[in-house]
Amino acid sequence: MFNQEDQAWENINALEREVKTLQEYQIAVRQIDALLAQAKLDFDNHLFSFAFENAKRGIETAKQVMIDYSRASEEYGRCQALIQQVSTIGDPSSLLDSLKASEQDFANSDFKAAIEKCLESLRVGTEILRNATPQFEVEVLSKDIKQKTWNRVRFRVHNTGKVHASDVHTNCIGQVEVTVTPSAHVIPAGGCADIDMGINPPGEGEIPLELKVSAVARNTGKRCEISVPFWMIVGGSQGTQGRPAKAVRDFFSIDEIFLIYRDGRLILHHSVKGTTDLDDTVLSGMMVAMQNFVSDSFKAGGGLRRFTFDKYTIAMEKGNYVFLATVLEGRPPPELYETILDTIERLEMAYAGVIEEWDGATDRFKDATAMFEDVLSLSKRFGMDEAAELGVRIKSGLEFFRGFVRLKVGITNETDETATDGALLLTFNRKAMRLVKIEPEYEFEGSTVYIGTLLP
Report pLDDT for 245: 35
288: Cβ–Cβ under 8 A, 6 or more apart, which residues? Answer: none
CATH number of 252-377: 3.30.450.70
Neighbours of 59 (CB within 10 A): 22
Domain boundaries, the chain: 2-131, 136-234, 252-377, 384-454
Written in H, E and C, the secondary structure of 7-33 is HHHHHHHHHHHHHHHHHHCCCCCHHHH
> Which pLDDT band holds residue 388 (cuts at 50, 70, 90)?
very low
CA angle 425, 427, 429 (to 5 degrees): 150
The pLDDT, as a whole number, for residue 246 is 38
Mean pLDDT of 21-32: 85
With a pLDDT cut of 90, the percent of the chain lying above it is 6
pLDDT per residue as tens digits for the range 426-435: 766 665 677 7
The answer to whether the 136-234 and 252-377 domains have the same CATH topology is: no
Give residue 60's pLDDT band: very low, low, confident or very high (50, 70, 90).
Answer: very high
Residue 247 pLDDT greater than 50, yes or no: no
Cis omega (within 30 of 0) for bond into 244: no
Quick check: 163 and 190 in contact, CB under 8 A? no
Phi and psi at residue 313, to the nearest 5°: -105, 130
Which of 39-43, 68-72, 248-252, 283-287 has the lowest average pLDDT?
248-252
Domain 136-234 has CATH 2.60.40.10: yes
Residue 110's SS3 state is coil
> Does the pLDDT of residue 229 top 70, yes or no?
yes
Vertex 320, ends 360 and 375: CA angle to 5°? Answer: 85
The pLDDT confidence band at residue 387, using thresholds 50, 70 and 90, is: very low
Res. 254: pLDDT tops 80: yes
Report the alpha-carbon distance of residue 250 to residue 291 in Å, rounded.
Answer: 29
Rounded to an integer, the average pLDDT of 395-413 is: 74
**Mean pLDDT of the 96-104 span:** 81
Separation between Cα atoms, residue 137 and residue 300, nearest integer Å:
24
Judged against a pLDDT cut of 80, whether residue 283 lies above it is answered with no
Residue 445 bridge partners (DSSP): 448
